[in-house]
Structure 1
Amino acid sequence: MDGQLIAFTGIAAGLVAMPGADFAVVVRNALVSRRAGVVCGLGIAGGLLVHTTLAVAGVAAVLVAVPTLFRALQLLGGAYVLHLGVRALRALRRPAAAPEETAAGTAHPLRQGFVTNVLNPKASLTFLSLLPQFVPAGSPALPRTLLLALIVCTLALVWFQLVALLVERLGRWLRRPRAARGLQAGTGAALTALGAALLLEPLLA
């Protein structure tokens, strides 16, 4: 592996592992079962595949050229993340809920992971600006950018499976009523705050 690929892998790993809506939604699903967390992670990897494909194709540049489209996608993404957070917090009001019910909102973990990630237009712009920096001068751009996109998706698959596994290993403790409700409140509040921020940013711009 050449030096540029090593550097890109490190940067991409940091971007994938950065705490945010993707991480929070995987934790919430993994509280129900490892399978739900892994499936949610697959959805996120699918969303990243869309973003990297757009970057490779150069289509993501349209988001810069058409500010209205960019803002619309931001609002949709923010609204969806906010919806997940509010639903998680509302689930806390149910008395004597089972841990699986309190983790809540995991009927479609693949869809949750995919939609949470794919409705973030900043991801496309990030990869659009990042990928060309790691294409050596004079080498074919398409094979290289496809390789970089594959690295990103592979990192997401590995990382979110590890997150799901960790939650499962801590499952006995995390599924205690007090711990489960505390984690549910934390992830719900994080998703709500992230969703609100995503909604406010285009409105205040």
Structure 2
Amino acid sequence: MSFGSKFTFMRFSYHSGDWDTDQRMPSNLLNSLLEYTTIPFDPHEKVIPLGSNDIFSYPFAYISGHKLVQFDTQERTNFKKYVQNGGFVFADDCNHDIDGLFAKSFEAQMTAIFGPAALKKIPNGHKIYHSFFSFDKGPPTTSFELNGWGDDLVHDYLKAIEINGRIAVLYSNKDYGCEWDYDYRNKRFLAEDNTKFGVNIIMYALNS
């Protein structure tokens, strides 16, 4: 794939389920790129159907939802081709529930595409936790986990599918999308900017 010079936050839409979650989150993360990095970026999120060949113009993709994930044949083909050709997908479960519909169906899709052993826990010392900011304890906890939302668990790991030694699909049950779904101008009211790990994810995607 040939990628452009500006980073674009690209979101996959897909035929099943509800893909249009956490709609303020992308602009919040892009604001964080502006605050902390010198990366040139498109200030607007781009939504592209997973079944479209247009996805291959962008190195980073986000996919999320609450409901069923059931890719059609073209979506499945494109997903596999995208990551095998250098694309990075950040998949986030909005339910924060390992037994929820999104988690079970998305993991089933990954098994169908890449095999049952492809999606694995990544160690908390992985370089994605040090790609820009340092998270020595692994993935930062979300308020949803601390408040008992979803499965009432604090997930102390993320999962990933690796291709040629790099994370190609990063998978979270932590509901980062909803955690970061607020107007970026309200960030000043937080004791600590909780979008910093989002910067790490993007920096890893662009440099791995």
Q: TM-score range by the shorter chain?
A: under 0.3
Q: TM-score, normalised by structure 2?
A: 0.25
Q: Which one has the largest radius of gyration?
A: 1
Specify which structure has the higher proportion of strand. 2
Specify which structure has the higher proportion of helix. 1
Q: TM-score, normalised by structure 1?
A: 0.25
